[in-house]
Chain A
Amino acid sequence: MATISHFKALQARLRSPIEVRFLLRRAIGGLFSLWGAVTIVFLMLYATGNPAEVLAPETATAEQVAELARQYGFDQPIYLQYRNFLVNIMQGNFPNSLYTGRPAFQEVLYRVPNTLLLGLTAVVLGALLGLVVGYVSSSGRSRIMRVVPIRLLMILQSVPNFFMGLLLIYFFSLTLRWLPTSGFSSWRNLILPITTLACYVAPNVARLFRSTMNEIRFEEHIQTARAKGISERAVRIRHNAINALGPVTTLIGLQLGGVLAGAVVVETLFAYPGVGQLLVQAVVSRDYPVALAAVILVCLGYNIASLLVDVLVVIIDPRAQKR
């Protein structure tokens, strides 16, 4: 196995797989999408009528609304409003929260680390679980190994994550009393939410990893590798499994939206103080400034994450940057 790291070293020394042109193109595309997303949010806000009225507290007097409109430029012509909207977003300048009275942007930013902790851990653990199950189901020695784990995992796929979380709470918190049901006071609070979210990621990863590995197994370069006389295990891992990581990573990228949706639900269910829970609270209590800030920030994070995933795909399979 020492040889693998040796090959990696050689590969790294020789050349970076990412081309500047790809990075540039991908970054421009990402910025464009982000701009589009922000514009859609703006248009929707505008479509409701007077954005100032939406953003002001319900109890606000007409003067207060007018004051807010002036402050954020909602009394100006639409193109200027649009410009102001973009400028304000870039400066992180949102109205104060209608409830806490603190700046909405800070309110959201404050919770970002919690969500990152939850989301990243869940994606990584879920992907790992999926990869292991997928590998076993494709290359396991016995039929039982190949069939049973993946079947079990696939059942999880049809359990909506809020119900999954509820079941976990029922068994581990209420019945067995091993873990806390909600809040965020210690690492033990993280176990159930992460498990719930990981259960969303793992099944698809496992299935795609299995099917991609099975496809690649019949590609000609696998025979070339065998013909070199290297061990079957090395062929499996270095040429079959690692080559199958590309599509799997792409899939994880496509699932990020689902992970986010899952995070929103799970955070709410477990009363976990993350961005998702804040967003839902804000939406339910009509705290529009906070909701707006959260939506924009989530879009930003989401786009950054999918950019990172795309770069990762290219590192795994350099052909992916060719169009």
Chain B
Amino acid sequence: MSFLDISELKIQILSRAGIVHPVRGVSLQIEPGEALGLVGESGCGKTITSMAIAGLLTPSATLTAKRFVVGGVDMSNASERAWRNIRRDSVGVIFQNPMKALNPRMLVGTQLAEAMAPKDRGSLRASHMKSMELLDSVGVTQPKARLSQYPHELSGGLAQRIVIAMALARNPKLLIADEPTTALDASVQKQILDLIDNLRKELKLAVLMVTHDLGVVQERVDRVAVMYAGRIIEHGATDDVISRSSHPYTAALVAAMPSIDRGRDKPLQGLEGLPPPLINLPGGCALRPRCALATGICEQIDPPLAFVERTGHWAACHNHHHGRVVLPPVIADTTMETVAPELDAAAIMQVRSITKVFGQQRLLNFWRGPRPPAVKDVSLSIAPGETLGIVGESGSGKTTVARMMVGLEMPTEGEILFGDKPLSALEPAEIGQWRREVQFVFQDSSSSLNPRFTIARSIEESLLALEPDAQARQERIRKLLAEVGLTEAMASRKPNQLSGGQRQRVGIARALARNPKLMIADEPVSALDVSVQATILNLLNRLRRERGMSYIIISHDLGVIRYICDRMIVMYRGDVVEAGSTEAVLQNPQHEYTRRLIAAAPNHISENQRSTGT
């Protein structure tokens, strides 16, 4: 019998604007020892579904279900007390951000003890034994020392292991992992996923893995359910669903993923637009406005989840009888003809063995000793028409290098050349030229645009020093918006009225405003959903082709680098550990860290699976 058996789960939340329906009929079963992946973009209802299974909904949410059985107990009308018993005895939960999932005020040991069964925490000795045992089982080194640490003294990976240990403290039968690796670095991600995998096998756990990343799901779970707008729209064996998607949304997600074995010749398929707000949802298929295959019937009837004979799994689309979905060929602008880099031309910028040490010596800090440098002896150069990727995990110094190149930080040692002159020796006119020709695109976040300024005003700021005539400026802004694929109506909006993807387009337009020769983009897509990511990456590629610009792309994602860059540099703890052409580095990594990074990259969606799709 399934450990978890849910049918027609619906959740409503009463808000001031009306009734929100984040979950609109979800059915799931998980057997002991089985892992189910629940996949979707942000706002599709996957997290709230998983929280409902743990009975952790907010009081303003009401839940109805035809069947809601957890561990053989019917929970459809369960009291808060019954839920607590279930959480205590049979369900463990792992949260997205381990640093926030631990109480910052309490020692690790105290928090662990709190999760234990009474017999285990009956005495200090017993709880100590049990804690050591738990930490050991999740692979925490020096478990004894950890017990007397505070969460803020731990690294993200370590904290996540401790959260897992807490979830396991009462030997649960079901483990719910809500984006367990999203907040972690790539190399740590793999370890945590491996750990969950091993625990599942050893302890015969049923695992519900909630994630936005199809790559995470592919190697780790048996079955996958794809959610969109509060419903499951495709469900089946993982490989089946990914390689023979029967729903346009899944197909688009798969086609949108940049991965390390996908070159620029295989264009990404983006999915424009946003998931619909789940309030007063009109009838018909929820994907309709974004769907490339929508027909008249999609507007009237919301397709039910039906078994698709030809692919052997379930999908909710009127087109399912065609079997595997074939998306229309990608829009013309992504067909690539790579601009041959003019490698012989003089470099636009060169970085010569720069080192950066942060933090000035403060009076009361002298005993802490010198800080480790954030960037150690890094050199690089970028020629016209060339694209360079810098990859590394957080804290590797990759962003610092980029910021030094545009003058947002000063190198402690070494020099940076614009053309053939060091930045420090530039004449005022040349500084102007440098500021024009080298542009920076910030990582999208709510802070990349002034929340008080309209979009037009934000872009205009970039033009102020170049274009004295206000009329001409407005004209330029209109052109720029069109060039990055935004409508004119956006000009008068404020940043909070835009989606993340749109904000990033504005950021790109702001950089383009000065007709740069080199654009340095810091994690340009890391804050975006996969489908939106693809549209931005395609935009970057198109601009490069049309304008013949050079790029330096900073990213933690090998797939992104692979998709855009000719050359790449791998940074690790401030050092460049590997450099060369993208192909060469990925095919034949020399440094131990690069190899680890490639192995850890979650998305090996194999080429043949994909090519049959396109």
B-binding residues in A (CB < 8 A): 3, 6-7, 9-11, 13-15, 17, 25, 28, 219-221, 223-232, 238-239, 242-243, 246, 316-319, 322
Given contacts A10-B124, A13-B124, A28-B364, contact A224 B93 (CB under 8 A): yes
Interface residues of B in 358-388 (CB under 8 A from A): 364
Contacts of B169 in A (CB 8 A): 228
What's the nearest-Cβ distance from chain B to residue A213, in Å?
A: 14
Contact A227 B84 (CB under 8 A): no
Q: Can you add 20 more A-B contacts, CB < 8 Å, to A225-B114, A229-B84, A246-B105?
A: A7-B110, A10-B107, A11-B107, A17-B150, A220-B96, A220-B97, A220-B100, A227-B91, A227-B167, A228-B87, A228-B88, A228-B114, A228-B169, A229-B85, A229-B87, A229-B89, A230-B84, A230-B115, A238-B114, A316-B105
What CA separation (Å) do A223 and B364 show in the bound complex? 39
- Most-contacted residue by chain A among B86, B87, B114 (CB, 10 A): B114
Contact B148 A14 (CB under 8 A): yes
Contacts of A221 in B (CB 8 A): 100-104
Interface string of B104-131 (1 = CB under 8 A from A): 1111011001110000010010010000
Name the residue on A nearest B106 (C-beta): A11
What CA separation (Å) do A318 and B101 show in the bound complex? 17
Contacts of B87 in A (CB 8 A): 226-229
Q: Which of B80, B95, B170, B364 contacts A224 (CB 8 A)?
A: B95
Contacts of B107 in A (CB 8 A): 10-11, 14-15
What's the nearest-Cβ distance from chain A to residue B215, in Å?
A: 24
Asked if B147 is an interface residue, CB under 8 A from chain A, the answer is: yes
What CA separation (Å) do A270 and B293 show in the bound complex? 83
Contact B110 A10 (CB under 8 A): yes
What CA separation (Å) do A239 and B87 show in the bound complex? 17
What CA separation (Å) do A319 and B154 show in the bound complex? 13
Given contacts A10-B109, A10-B113, A10-B124, contact A322 B152 (CB under 8 A): yes
> Which secondary structure dominates chain A's binding surface?
helix
Asked if B336 is an interface residue, CB under 8 A from chain A, the answer is: no
Q: Which of B89, B103, B110, B115 contacts A243 (CB 8 A)?
A: B103
What's the nearest-Cβ distance from chain B to residue A239, in Å?
A: 6
Report the 6 A-B pairs with minimum CB-CB distance, sorted nearest first.
Answer: A229-B88, A14-B148, A229-B87, A227-B93, A220-B100, A228-B115
Contacts of A319 in B (CB 8 A): 104-105, 150, 152
Contact B166 A229 (CB under 8 A): no
Contacts of A3 in B (CB 8 A): 121
Contacts of A318 in B (CB 8 A): 105, 150
Asked if B54 is an interface residue, CB under 8 A from chain A, the answer is: yes
What CA separation (Å) do A54 and B333 show in the bound complex? 86
- Most-contacted residue by chain A among B87, B105, B124 (CB, 10 A): B105
- How many inter-chain contacts with C-beta < 8 Å in the A-B complex? 99
Given contacts A15-B107, A221-B100, A221-B104, contact A227 B54 (CB under 8 A): yes
What CA separation (Å) do A155 and B579 show in the bound complex? 68
Contact A231 B103 (CB under 8 A): no
What CA separation (Å) do A28 and B365 show in the bound complex? 13
Contacts of A246 in B (CB 8 A): 105
Asked if B163 is an interface residue, CB under 8 A from chain A, the answer is: yes
Interface residues of B in 50-77 (CB under 8 A from A): 51, 54, 56
What's the nearest-Cβ distance from chain B to residue A225, in Å?
A: 7
What CA separation (Å) do A223 and B91 show in the bound complex? 13
What's the nearest-Cβ distance from chain B to residue A322, in Å?
A: 7
What's the nearest-Cβ distance from chain A to residue B153, in Å?
A: 9
Contacts of B100 in A (CB 8 A): 219-221
What CA separation (Å) do A319 and B103 show in the bound complex? 11
Contacts of A220 in B (CB 8 A): 95-97, 100-101
What's the nearest-Cβ distance from chain B to residue A179, in Å?
A: 41
What CA separation (Å) do A9 and B127 show in the bound complex? 13
Contacts of A223 in B (CB 8 A): 51, 56, 93, 95, 101
Contacts of B121 in A (CB 8 A): 3, 6
Contact A224 B166 (CB under 8 A): yes
What's the nearest-Cβ distance from chain A to residue B327, in Å?
A: 37
Contacts of B51 in A (CB 8 A): 223
Name the residue on B nearest A16 (C-beta): B148
Contact A14 B147 (CB under 8 A): yes
Pairs across A and B, CB under 8 Å, 5 listed: A14-B147, A224-B166, A227-B91, A228-B115, A229-B87
Asked if B92 is an interface residue, CB under 8 A from chain A, the answer is: yes
What CA separation (Å) do A11 and B56 show in the bound complex? 28
Given contacts A13-B124, A228-B87, A229-B87, contact A317 B105 (CB under 8 A): yes
What CA separation (Å) do A15 and B153 show in the bound complex? 14
Name the residue on A nearest B151 (C-beta): A221
What's the nearest-Cβ distance from chain A to residue B132, in Å?
A: 13
Name the residue on A nearest B127 (C-beta): A10
What CA separation (Å) do A309 and B130 show in the bound complex? 36
Contacts of A15 in B (CB 8 A): 107, 148
Contacts of B91 in A (CB 8 A): 227
What CA separation (Å) do A13 and B127 show in the bound complex? 13
What CA separation (Å) do A317 and B103 show in the bound complex? 10
What's the nearest-Cβ distance from chain B to residue A285, in Å?
A: 44
Contacts of B80 in A (CB 8 A): 232
What's the nearest-Cβ distance from chain B to residue A27, in Å?
A: 12
Name the residue on B nearest A13 (C-beta): B124
Contact A227 B56 (CB under 8 A): yes
What's the nearest-Cβ distance from chain A to residue B296, in Å?
A: 44
Given contacts A224-B102, A227-B54, A227-B93, contact A7 B113 (CB under 8 A): yes
Name the residue on A nearest B90 (C-beta): A229
What CA separation (Å) do A232 and B100 show in the bound complex? 20
What's the nearest-Cβ distance from chain B to residue A3, in Å?
A: 7
What CA separation (Å) do A226 and B59 show in the bound complex? 13
What CA separation (Å) do A227 and B163 show in the bound complex? 11
What CA separation (Å) do A7 and B115 show in the bound complex? 12
Contacts of B364 in A (CB 8 A): 25, 28
What CA separation (Å) do A11 and B152 show in the bound complex? 16
What CA separation (Å) do A246 and B105 show in the bound complex? 9
Name the residue on A nearest B91 (C-beta): A227
Interface residues of B in 130-172 (CB under 8 A from A): 147-148, 150, 152, 163, 166-167, 169-170
